[in-house]
């Protein structure tokens, strides 16, 4: 890490002509078109850390970078994030944000804090960061979010001397949105995997994780069931049971399932995810109903 | 004859087929199949050419080009190494031998693309055959049902975008989501799957997939196809491969594009797509969690306790009472419970789970998960759907949460559906789910004005004044009460101990309806309301109509609570009507009186014809002489003519058929002079211009199932003819095929059942597909007044039916039959003149034989093995009658004196009905005869029709399962015929037996039948056996006897 990257007292951006970034395609676009980037309190806390730095107009530029999809990729691992951001030069800048991972002892404390109240885990599983987690951690002398300057180590390959620069800010904002969606990412960043956290929940979680890997086709090949040699069972089966089809109505709200699942992780499509798939739901639903009624 | 099968192999559906071995199949090269697999080719497995040829014939030429064929292994039950076919039509099952075991064979199978699969399966719904001789096996029908299930999932939007890795790469796919109630439905469906639906495999070492896995694999492939074929614009064309990657800015964009194009193939770096797949998995994780758990979280809404048992006395909304306060205080409760997936009857309250650590042993015998932990995780998820649940999670050990009445209403109307859709179980009170009687706010019309005493001159088009009434259940609400309810603003009100949902909108609409007051309405609309067929008015459901005087009486008569007046025998009617027939004809007259259409749907043989003739006779005598147009199948025009001659000789009958039929003004003039004009369905369309200009007194459709498809020309023509009265006759049990009902009702009472697609949504799908008993009940109430169906088994209605009913069935000849018949007669006449003695005798008998053969079928006379369909009037009639009979669940014996005719009938009927038809004749060995008789007398799947040659089957056998006996051709000796008839009519017969004797009208058959009827001169001679007496007739008598009369041909 170069020594000068640490410096942030002088803001040189005023001396340079304002650079215009090269238009990026297929970048991660912020789902929030305007207003706040984060909705949940924990994501807000994350953003607060960034906004606590006095970097002037860079915050604003970072936001519009995040909205216009200049961030080409984000890779989140334990201890840090690497990202590619399209700036004004042809080659994208690479951004690194390093975060301190929790030590073994700290992790144990965290687990204890969470296991004290099972509600914490329940809420986490529901995609909710229980507020009390933070106070429980504070009580244990720990912090979930990087609070001080020293907790964060940010780098960018751009020529801007300021750190954080607008590229870092853009990545930061997008991370906030992802945390909104999945609070486990915060723990992951701090080196605590989802599996560890939910270990207390036992098999329910594990079974779900297992189930999601096996697709329908895999299952049909794996789990067999012998055939019955009785000619009647073999050739005829039985009559269709009562109520096996269910109602055939078009649901009042289109695309309720994807709506329930919420935003797609690190969405990089040109259109907003729900906007892109909702028309398919409405028209396929109508088509299928007409097919059932024998009208198509 | 070919039997089509379908089986799911991995993620694709394959089509294969069985074919009887004796039908010529393309020669198989033996050596080749041995190399691909050790199993031998299935002896009755059909070759690809036979399959594609068949499909091309019934579905379209493009199927002929299907090339995607594989030789797959199939496991089939076998005995002593001999495989057992799906039906004896393919191969007789080996009767004896060692135990039945599974054995492996190979068959040629066609791989169906999803497009092909949906097209083929769409054609197989609710059918036994795809065409003559193309049978649909149960496994194929199963997949057709599964396709419906897939469509229902898509209609309900139970699918998500996904990504699947197949052999040749990654594909973007729309994947079914089968959770909650749908998961139960899938299990139910999987449980009825014939095992043959998963008996095919490409790898004999791998055990066959479980039913639910095979079904899931099928759903996965067709759901994707259905969604794609229903995309907003036509699916995007796949991009040329080299461009594909470059055009997209991100994997996400490519994924979206692939989801909206034809094949969904994804190009791109492996890591990139793996990453996308991982993201999709993590996005879907919350859904997976609820599905994988062995327990389910339940929410049970519990009613507040009854306030001191006084609720019963409390009518709704009495202004004096402070009802509002009371309801608001009432506390409802949503209780959390856990329900094991394995045993849904077991419910454990959350509070017990918090308390008792051993609850897990009760809940989950295998003990692989803690119910407490699941409960927490599930509650956490449910919190996202319902904020009240989230709020109560702050408590340490939540067991549920209280709700006020408004909250309870919101829970029922909004949250419950959302929770259920997410895989949770919601248990609502019975009054809500409709299991109990559901009270609703509904309007009814009260007819005002002075009721007139005498109904004469009154019609349904009379206009009467009425007022609206609003009622909750049976209780009428006063306006003050209604307004008090409106002020109450409580969405749920307790009325006589039962909760009723009242939305503010509903109450407002009801108040508005009231404010606008009643008005004037035609009696026709009042009737519609009275029968519950009226559409909601201004958002308020219409429950019924209340009227006094003649309108009230009419309503009561229609819903069956009051009798209609019964008539005696019409003057001039020959013969006696049985009491039920008198009732039937009075009923027709009653509906006719009000201009309402009637469907007389009595069982075959109960005399629908004479009930209609009685009605016409009565009108004729009372000087209502507008002609009645009767449309029937060509094969029964002669029957109508004969019956009219016999029972109503007064009535002038015009049979309008044949090339000599009248046209233009001549027809109109003649029609007006006749009481009855008999014509056929083909002419209904062809001579429509002629018919539409006549002022008909009534239009009667015989065998009205001929217009079951509302789109056909015949149905359209029938609907657009003008008449004062419409009658439909059918012996097909209308309740068995709801789909046919709409078209018939639309003919009878236009508009009464709403539009066809409305009808399909409200009744056809729920009843035909889902067997919904509520929908059946509603439809019965709506159509009941217009359908009269008596069963011959119903002894309480038809107490006076004789045990044996004999009927003559008059059939026409086809043109071909007539010309063959004429040729035989010509030859005979020439030869007869010079013949004498033995030679003459032989000539007479031979001629008689040939004439009978011509009457039976040209293929029998010619003996050339030529094609069967469409060449014989008798065969057409027999097919129609058997069809009706089989639908009604009856069984029949069919006698013929010719073994070769029996063989023709067997082949033709088997191919038409797709069922095995037994045939017993002189050459059948004794052992096989006994087996046939035992099978016919057996239960369940036993063949419904038994063909017998008169000589071989006429004596000794006991075939009491049959309630119909057909004599396809005649042996002019009553004793022999009766003996045959008695096979069915024996000790052990519990039903009436109907005997149908087929006679070709205008031919020797009819002439001899008349002679026997006139017994006087020939009875002595008839007492002998055989037909030898005929040879003693003089040549001129014989010529007279053989001559072909005009009425023989009816086309």
For residue B248, the chain A residue with the least C-alpha distance is: A26
Closest CA to B848 of B635, B1007, B966, B1019: B1007
Residue B784 CB burial class (10 angstroms; 0-12, 13-18, ≥19)? middle
A contact residues 102-131, partner B, Cβ 8 Å cutoff: 117-119, 121-128
pLDDT score at B26:
46
Q: How far is CA A86 from CA A6, A35, A46, A62, in A?
A: 22, 23, 23, 12
A contact residues 53-112, partner B, Cβ 8 Å cutoff: none
Is-contact B367 B360, C-beta < 8 A? Answer: yes
Is ipTM beyond 0.85?
no
How many residues are there in chain B?
Answer: 1051
Set of chain B residues whose Cβ sits within 8 Å of the Cβ of A246: 152, 156, 181-182, 185, 770
pLDDT score at B853:
92
Closest CA to B329 of B494, B510, B180: B494
Query: How far is Cα B270 from Cα B320, in angstroms, rounded to an integer?
Result: 76
**How remote is the C-alpha of A41 from its chain's centroid?**
15
Query: How far is Cα B236 from Cα B260, in angstroms, rounded to an integer?
Result: 6
* Pairing mode, strands B169-176 and B265-266: antiparallel
Average of pLDDT values for A25-48?
Answer: 74
Contact yes or no for B373 and A118 at CB 8 A: yes
- What angle do helix axes B837-856 and B1004-1013 make, rounded to 10 degrees? 110
Closest CA to B189 of B213, B225, B221: B213
B977 token code pair: 């015929």
Is-contact A214 A128, C-beta < 8 A? Answer: no
For residue B761, the chain A residue with the least C-alpha distance is: A293
Is-contact A183 A122, C-beta < 8 A? Answer: no
Determine the distance in angstroms separating the CA of B768 from the nearest CA of chain A, rounded to an integer: 10
A contact residues 225-254, partner B, Cβ 8 Å cutoff: 225-231, 233-251, 254
Size of the A and B interface in Cβ pairs below 8 Å: 334
The count of other CB atoms within 10 Å of the CB of residue B811 is 30
What would you report as the CA-atom Rg of chain A, rounded to the nearest whole angstrom?
A: 25
Closest CA to B880 of B604, B575, B676, B656: B604
pLDDT score at B854:
93
* Candidate from A201, A226, A244 with C-beta closest to B377: A201
* Candidate from B100, B102, B368 with C-beta closest to A203: B368
- Residue B25: partners with Cβ closer than 8 Å, 6 or more residues away: B19, B46, B47, B50
pLDDT score at B29:
42
Contact yes or no for B191 and A261 at CB 8 A: no
Is-contact B509 B486, C-beta < 8 A? Answer: no
Q: How confident is the model at residue A4 (pLDDT cuts 50, 70, 90)?
A: very low
pLDDT score at A8:
42
pLDDT score at A149:
60
* Candidate from A236, A282, A285 with C-beta closest to B194: A236
pLDDT score at B6:
94
pLDDT score at B729:
93
pTM: 0.73
Maximum separation of any 2 CA atoms in chain A, in Å: 88
Element (H, E) at B469: strand B463-472
Q: How far is CA B576 from CA B572, B579, B600, B994, in A?
A: 11, 9, 19, 18
Set of chain A residues whose Cβ sits within 8 Å of the Cβ of B219: 216
Q: A291 touching B, CB under 8 A?
A: yes
**How remote is the C-alpha of B374 from its chain's centroid?**
45
Query: How far is Cα B703 from Cα B998, in angstroms, rounded to an integer?
Result: 18
Contact yes or no for A248 and B761 at CB 8 A: yes
A291 token code pair: 């097919």
pLDDT score at B225:
93
Query: How far is Cα B305 from Cα B308, in angstroms, rounded to an integer?
Result: 8
For residue A295, the chain B residue with the least C-alpha distance is: B757
Query: How far is Cα B854 from Cα B820, in angstroms, rounded to an integer?
Result: 6
pLDDT score at A206:
41
Contact yes or no for B231 and A228 at CB 8 A: no
Cα within 13 Å of Cα(B871), Cβ side: 21
pLDDT score at B227:
93
Is-contact B548 B447, C-beta < 8 A? Answer: yes
**DSSP of B771-787:** --HHHHHHHHHHHGGGE
Closest CA to B103 of B154, B40, B162, B35: B40
Contact yes or no for B189 and A241 at CB 8 A: yes
Query: How far is Cα B12 from Cα B577, in angstroms, rounded to an integer?
Result: 61
Q: How far is CA B32 from CA B41, B106, B599, in A?
A: 10, 12, 61
Determine the distance in angstroms separating the CA of A38 from the nearest CA of chain B, rounded to an integer: 18
Query: How far is Cα B154 from Cα A289, in angstroms, rounded to an integer?
Result: 8
Low pLDDT (below 50) residues in chain B: 23-37, 235, 309-328, 359-361, 364-368, 435-436, 450, 453-454, 1016-1017, 1020, 1023
Set of chain B residues whose Cβ sits within 8 Å of the Cβ of A240: 145, 189, 192, 771
Query: How far is Cα A43 from Cα A40, in angstroms, rounded to an integer?
Result: 5
Query: How far is Cα B754 from Cα A246, in angstroms, rounded to an integer?
Result: 23
* Candidate from B100, B122, B208 with C-beta closest to A226: B208
DSSP 3-state percent helix, strand, coil across chain A (nearest 5): 50, 10, 40
A153 token code pair: 């180590």
Q: How confident is the model at residue A183 (pLDDT cuts 50, 70, 90)?
A: confident
Is-contact B360 B347, C-beta < 8 A? Answer: no
Which contacts (CB < 8 Å, 24+ apart) does range B778-784 have? B778/B532, B779/B738, B779/B741, B780/B735, B781/B531, B781/B532, B781/B559, B782/B531, B782/B532, B782/B533, B782/B752, B782/B753, B783/B741, B783/B745, B783/B753, B784/B559, B784/B560
3-state secondary structure at position B175: strand
Q: How far is CA A39 from CA A173, A180, A271, B470, in A?
A: 12, 7, 21, 49
How many residues are there in chain A?
Answer: 296
The count of other CB atoms within 10 Å of the CB of residue B859 is 20
Is-contact B657 B1050, C-beta < 8 A? Answer: yes
* Phi–psi pair at A278, nearest 5 degrees: -60, -45
Is-contact B742 B718, C-beta < 8 A? Answer: no
Q: How far apart are the first and last CA of chain A?
A: 66
Residue B47 β-bridge partners:
none
B634 token code pair: 């060509």
**DSSP of B304-365:** PPPSTT-GGG--TT-TTS-HHHHHHH--EEEEEEEEESS-TT--EEHHHHHH-TTHHHHH-T
Query: How far is Cα B786 from Cα A86, in angstroms, rounded to an integer?
Result: 76
A contact residues 207-226, partner B, Cβ 8 Å cutoff: 207-213, 215-217, 219-221, 223-226
Average of pLDDT values for A227-248?
Answer: 83
Average of pLDDT values for A157-177?
Answer: 86
pLDDT score at B495:
65
Tell me how many degrees the CA angle A211-B180-A184 measures, rounded to the nearest 5. 50
* Candidate from B101, B189, B216 with C-beta closest to A216: B216
Is-contact B734 B789, C-beta < 8 A? Answer: yes
Contact yes or no for B256 and A269 at CB 8 A: yes
Tell me how many degrees the CA angle B779-B780-B783 measures, rounded to the nearest 5. 80
* Candidate from A213, A244, A254 with C-beta closest to B189: A244
Contact yes or no for A217 and B11 at CB 8 A: yes
- Residue corresponding to tokens 């609907």: B719
Contact yes or no for B100 and A258 at CB 8 A: no
Query: How far is Cα B921 from Cα B253, in angstroms, rounded to an integer?
Result: 72
pLDDT score at B1023:
45
Set of chain B residues whose Cβ sits within 8 Å of the Cβ of A225: 207-211
**DSSP of B525-553:** HHHHHHTT-PPPBTTBPEEEEE--HHHHH
* Candidate from A208, A230, A293 with C-beta closest to B292: A208
- Residue corresponding to tokens 């907790």: A151
- Residue B220: partners with Cβ closer than 8 Å, 6 or more residues away: A215, A216, A217, B11, B164, B173, B175, B176
Is-contact B786 B591, C-beta < 8 A? Answer: yes
């Amino acid at each position: 890490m170069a020594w000068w990257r640490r410096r942030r007292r002088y803001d040189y951006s005023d001396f340079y002509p304002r650079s215009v970034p090269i238009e990026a395609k297929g970048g991660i676009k912020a789902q929030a078109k305007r207003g706040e980037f984060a909705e949940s309190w924990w994501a807000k806390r994350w953003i607060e850390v960034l906004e606590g730095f006095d970097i002037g107009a860079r915050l604003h530029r970072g936001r519009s970078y995040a909205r216009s999809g200049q961030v080409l990729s984000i890779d989140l691992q334990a201890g840090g994030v690497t990202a590619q951001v399209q700036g004004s030069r042809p080659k994208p800048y690479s951004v690194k944000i390093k975060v301190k991972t929790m030590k073994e002892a700290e992790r144990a404390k965290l687990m204890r804090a969470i296991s004290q109240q099972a509600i914490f885990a329940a809420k986490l599983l529901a995609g909710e960061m229980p507020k009390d987690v933070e106070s429980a951690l504070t009580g244990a002398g720990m912090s979930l979010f990087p609070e001080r300057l020293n907790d964060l180590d940010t780098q960018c390959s751009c020529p801007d001397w300021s750190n954080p620069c607008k590229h870092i800010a853009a990545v930061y904002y997008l991370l906030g949105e992802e945390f909104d969606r999945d609070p486990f990412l915060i723990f992951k960043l701090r080196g605590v995997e989802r599996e560890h956290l939910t270990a207390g929940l036992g098999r329910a979680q594990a079974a779900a994780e297992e189930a999601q890997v096996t697709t329908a086709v895999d299952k049909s090949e794996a789990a067999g069931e012998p055939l019955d040699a009785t000619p009647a069972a073999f050739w005829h089966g039985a009559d269709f049971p009562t109520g096996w089809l269910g109602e055939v109505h078009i649901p009042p709200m289109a695309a309720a399932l994807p709506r329930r699942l919420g935003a797609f992780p690190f969405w990089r499509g040109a259109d907003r995810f729900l906007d892109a798939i909702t028309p398919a739901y409405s028209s396929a639903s109508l088509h299928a109903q007409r097919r059932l009624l024998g009208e198509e | 004859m070919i039997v089509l099968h379908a089986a799911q192999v991995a993620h694709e559906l394959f089509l294969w087929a069985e074919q009887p071995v004796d039908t010529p199949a393309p020669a198989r090269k033996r050596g080749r199949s041995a190399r691909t697999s050790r199993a031998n080719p299935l002896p009755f497995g059909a070759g690809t050419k036979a399959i594609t040829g068949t499909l091309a014939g019934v579905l379209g030429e493009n199927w002929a080009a299907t090339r995607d064929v594989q030789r797959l292994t199939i496991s089939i039950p076998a005995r002593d190494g001999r495989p057992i076919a799906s039906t004896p039509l393919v191969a007789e099952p080996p009767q004896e031998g060692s135990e039945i075991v599974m054995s492996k064979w190979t068959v040629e199978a066609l791989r169906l693309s999803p497009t092909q699969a949906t097209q083929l399966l769409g054609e197989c719904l609710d059918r036994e055959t795809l065409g003559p001789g193309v049978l649909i096996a149960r496994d194929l029908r199963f997949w057709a049902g599964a396709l419906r299930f897939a469509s229902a999932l898509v209609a309900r939007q139970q699918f998500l975008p996904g990504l699947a890795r197949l052999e040749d790469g990654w594909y973007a796919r729309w994947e079914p989501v089968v959770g909650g109630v749908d998961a139960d439905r899938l299990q139910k469906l999987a449980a009825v799957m014939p095992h043959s639906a998963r008996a095919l495999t490409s790898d004999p070492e791998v055990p066959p997939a479980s039913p639910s896995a095979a079904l899931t694999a099928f759903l996965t492939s067709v759901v994707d196809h259905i969604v794609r074929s229903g995309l907003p614009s036509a699916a995007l064309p796949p991009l040329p491969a080299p461009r594909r990657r470059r055009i997209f800015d991100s994997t996400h964009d490519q994924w979206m594009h692939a989801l909206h194009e034809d094949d969904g193939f994804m190009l791109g770096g492996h890591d990139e797509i793996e990453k996308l797949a991982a993201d999709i998995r993590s996005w879907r994780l919350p859904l997976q969690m609820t599905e994988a758990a062995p327990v389910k979280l339940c929410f049970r809404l519990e009613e507040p306790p009854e306030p001191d048992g006084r609720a019963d006395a409390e009518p709704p909304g009495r202004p004096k009472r402070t009802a509002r306060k009371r309801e608001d205080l009432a506390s409802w409760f949503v209780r959390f419970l856990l329900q094991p997936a394995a045993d849904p009857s077991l419910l454990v309250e959350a509070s017990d789970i918090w308390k008792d650590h051993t609850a897990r042993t009760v809940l989950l015998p295998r003990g692989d998960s803690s119910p407490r932990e699941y409960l927490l995780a599930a509650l956490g998820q449910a919190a996202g759907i319902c904020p009240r649940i989230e709020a109560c999670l702050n408590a340490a050990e939540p067991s549920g949460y209280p709700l006020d009445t408004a909250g309870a209403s919101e829970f029922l109307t909004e949250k419950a559906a959302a929770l259920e859709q997410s895989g949770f179980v919601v248990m609502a009170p019975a009054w809500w789910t409709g299991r109990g009687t559901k009270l609703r706010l509904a309007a009814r019309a009260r007819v005002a004005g002075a009721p007139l005493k005498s109904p004469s001159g009154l019609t349904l088009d009379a206009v009467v004044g009425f007022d609206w009434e609003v009622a909750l259940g049976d209780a009428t609400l006063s306006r003050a009460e209604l307004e008090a309810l409106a002020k109450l603003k409580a969405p749920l009100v307790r009325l006589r101990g039962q909760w009723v949902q009242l939305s503010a909108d509903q109450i407002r609409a009801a108040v508005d309806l009231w404010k606008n007051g009643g008005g004037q309405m035609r009696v026709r609309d009042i009737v519609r309301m009275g029968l519950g067929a009226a559409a909601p008015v201004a958002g308020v459901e219409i429950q019924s109509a209340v009227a006094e005087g003649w309108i009230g009486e009419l309503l009561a008569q229609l819903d069956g609570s009051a009798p209609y007046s019964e008539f005696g025998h019409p003057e001039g009617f020959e013969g006696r009507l049985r009491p039920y027939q008198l009732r039937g004809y009075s009923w027709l007259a009653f509906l006719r009186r009000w201009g309402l259409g009637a469907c007389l749907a009595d069982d075959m043989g109960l005399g629908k014809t004479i009930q209609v003739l009685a009605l016409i006779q009565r009108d004729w005598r009372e000087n209502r002489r507008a002609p009645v147009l009767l449309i029937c199948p060509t094969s029964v025009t002669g029957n109508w003519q004969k019956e009219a001659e016999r029972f109503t000789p007064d009535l002038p009958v015009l049979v309008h058929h044949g090339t000599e039929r009248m046209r233009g003004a001549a027809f109109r003039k003649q029609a007006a002079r006749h009481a009855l004009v008999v014509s056929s369905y083909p002419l209904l369309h062809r001579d429509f211009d002629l018919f539409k200009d006549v002022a008909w007194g009534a239009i009667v459709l015989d065998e009205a199932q001929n217009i079951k498809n509302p789109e056909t020309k015949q149905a359209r023509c029938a609907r657009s003819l003008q008449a004062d009265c419409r009658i439909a006759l059918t012996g097909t049990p209308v309740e068995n095929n709801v789909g046919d009902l709409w078209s018939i009702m639309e003919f009878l009472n236009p508009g009464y059942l709403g539009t066809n697609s409305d009808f399909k949504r409200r009744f056809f799908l729920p009843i035909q597909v889902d067997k919904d008993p509520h929908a059946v009940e509603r439809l019965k109430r709506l159509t009941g007044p217009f359908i009269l169906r008596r069963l011959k088994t119903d002894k309480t209605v038809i107490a006076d039916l004789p045990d044996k009913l004999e009927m003559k069935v008059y059939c026409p000849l086809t043109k071909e039959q007539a010309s063959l018949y004429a040729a035989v007669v010509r030859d005979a006449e020439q030869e007869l003149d010079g013949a004498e003695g033995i030679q003459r005798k032989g000539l007479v008998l031979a001629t008689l034989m040939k004439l009978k053969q011509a009457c039976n079928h040209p293929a029998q006379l010619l003996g050339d093995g030529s094609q069967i369909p469409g060449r014989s009037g008798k065969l057409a009639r027999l097919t129609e009658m058997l069809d009706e009979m089989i639908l009604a669940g009856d069984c029949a014996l069919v006698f013929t004196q010719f073994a070769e005719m029996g063989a023709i009938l067997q082949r033709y009927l088997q191919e038409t009905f797709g069922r095995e038809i037994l045939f017993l004749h002189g050459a059948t060995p004794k052992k096989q005869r006994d087996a046939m008789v035992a099978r016919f007398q057996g239960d369940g799947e036993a063949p419904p029709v038994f063909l017998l040659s008169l000589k071989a089957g006429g004596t000794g056998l006991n075939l009491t399962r049959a309630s119909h006996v057909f004599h396809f051709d005649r042996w002019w000796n009553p004793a022999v015929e009766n003996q045959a008839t008695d096979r069915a009519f024996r000790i052990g017969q519990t039903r009436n037996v109907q005997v149908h004797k087929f006679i070709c009208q205008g031919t020797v058959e009819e002439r001899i039948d008349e002679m026997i009827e006139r017994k006087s001169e020939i009875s002595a001679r008839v007492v002998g056996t055989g037909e030898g007496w005929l040879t003693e007739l003089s040549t001129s008598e014989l010529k007279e006897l053989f001559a072909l009369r005009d009425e023989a041909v009816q086309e």
